[in-house]
Amino acid sequence: MGTPQAAVPSFERLIEDGHEIAAVYTQPDRPSGRGNKVTFSPVKQFALEHGIPVFQPLKIKTPEELEVFRSHEADAAVVVAYGRILPPGFLNAFHFGAVNVHFSLLPKYRGAAPVNWAIVNGESVTGVTTMQMDEGLDTGDILLQKEYAIRDSESASELMARLADAGAGLLSETLSTFDSIEPRKQDESQASLAPMLKKTDGVIDWSLPADAIERRVRGFQPFPTAFTFYSGKRLTIWSAVVEMADSSDRRPVGTLFIGEGRIMVECGGGSRLAINELQFEGKKRMPVKEFLNGSPLRDGAVLGMKTDT
């Protein structure tokens, strides 16, 4: 049971390890992109390539769907970023229940976006957990867990790819040693949440220190990205670094410094952010030097809301 690309390595590892996949559950097909073209989830695409039956129920909390689910007569359900909370009937349908791969060191960062919030909050380490699912939000007993360092310049997309591969390995180990694992309860006093990301999370608050904004640039990829506005147009920041500020030339937060092929922005606490890669609404991503060729940005202008210039 999974939907995004992050679930594919675990799916692939199950096949490599010789497990029989009775069925695949993934989110319903939805239109996406500029043309609203209906696309398959990465998990569905992988399943079809391997001739495995795919189920995409619009609703799973019905007696009919539970009956279909039980009919697969599997030993366990393996859940990796499926995108829905499973009802009790699904959790208890099979002998070994439901085993989840979660991309954090539970009980920290329970929820939909653990990788993103770990970067945004400045964590130096994160990890992967396999868990025996229960009815709560990522509250089940921990089976196995492995820690990984977060690299200094790593985006959430890059970290997610690393953890997806690591999760596949941990899942393999979990299933092969399942009978000898002693599940352990989560320490509720250490629990934290990683809520689903909203588009508004990406709006840059230039009054924040530059290091906090830089983490948002990395942490909010691929969605919602970190963005601001210039002359009413959305300006997305894809890569940036923190710069030492010149105390003799302080400007209001959000003010642009442009010169010598560089773009810097005044941030909170007298800090500055140097932008390496950015994108104007409707245009392609560009490195800063290419972007500045014919760019409407001007030194001294202030970035901000849609009404600002």
Write out pLDDT tens, residues 279-298: 999 999 999 999 999 888 99
Q: CATH number of 199-291: 3.10.25.10, 3.40.50.2300, 3.40.50.300, 2.130.10.10?
A: 3.10.25.10
Secondary structure letter of residue 87 according to DSSP: P
pLDDT of residue 213: 98
CA distances to 7, 42, 110, 175, 252 from 101, rounded to whole Å, are: 9, 17, 12, 12, 45
Please give the mean pLDDT across all residues of the chain.
95
User: How many CB atoms lie under 10 A from the CB of residue 43?
Assistant: 26
- Identify whether the C-beta of residue 128 lies closer than 8 Å to the C-beta of residue 145: yes
- Chain position carrying tokens 């097909």: 29
Class of domain 5-190: alpha beta
Q: Please give the radius of gyration of the chain, using alpha carbons only, rounded to the nearest integer.
A: 22
pLDDT tier at 53 (50, 70, 90 boundaries)? very high
pLDDT higher than 90, residue 37: no
pLDDT tier at 306 (50, 70, 90 boundaries)? low
Cα 143–chain centre separation: 22
- Chain position carrying tokens 């530059």: 210
pLDDT higher than 60, residue 50: yes
d(CA 48, CA 180): 34
- Identify whether the C-beta of residue 218 lies closer than 8 Å to the C-beta of residue 156: yes
Cα 101–chain centre separation: 14
Of the candidates 102, 100, 88, which has an alpha carbon nearest to the alpha carbon of residue 175?
100
Instruction: Kindly report, residue by residue over 108-134, the tens digit of the pLDDT.
Output: 999 999 999 999 999 999 999 999 999
* Cα within 13 Å of Cα(164), Cβ side: 18
Lookup: tokens for 116: 């993103």
Calculate what percentage of the chain has a pLDDT beyond 70.
97
Instruction: Kindly report, residue by residue over 159-201, the tens digit of the pLDDT.
Output: 999 999 999 999 999 999 999 999 999 999 999 999 999 999 9
Cα 176–chain centre separation: 28
pLDDT tier at 305 (50, 70, 90 boundaries)? low
Secondary structure letter of residue 83 according to DSSP: S
Average pLDDT in the 261-273 region?
Answer: 94
pLDDT tier at 244 (50, 70, 90 boundaries)? confident
Burial of 184 (0-12, 13-18, 19+ CB in 10 A): exposed
d(CA 201, CA 263): 23
- Identify whether the C-beta of residue 194 lies closer than 8 Å to the C-beta of residue 111: yes
User: How many CB atoms lie under 10 A from the CB of residue 307?
Assistant: 8
d(CA 203, CA 305): 9
The dihedral built from the CA positions of residue 288, 291, 295 and 296, taken in this order, carries a sign that is negative
Query: What does the domain layout of the chain look like in residue ranges?
Result: 5-190, 199-291
- Identify whether the C-beta of residue 302 lies closer than 8 Å to the C-beta of residue 256: yes
pLDDT of residue 32: 74
CA distances to 235, 243, 279 from 230, rounded to whole Å, are: 7, 22, 11
Instruction: Kindly report, residue by residue over 54-101, the tens digit of the pLDDT.
Output: 999 999 999 999 999 999 999 999 999 999 999 999 999 999 999 999
- Chain position carrying tokens 């129920």: 57
d(CA 260, CA 292): 10
pLDDT of residue 307: 46
- Chain position carrying tokens 């948002």: 216
Instruction: Kindly report, residue by residue over 66-78, the tens digit of the pLDDT.
Output: 999 999 999 999 9
Burial of 8 (0-12, 13-18, 19+ CB in 10 A): buried
Lookup: tokens for 88: 């009790």
Same fold, 5-190 and 199-291: no
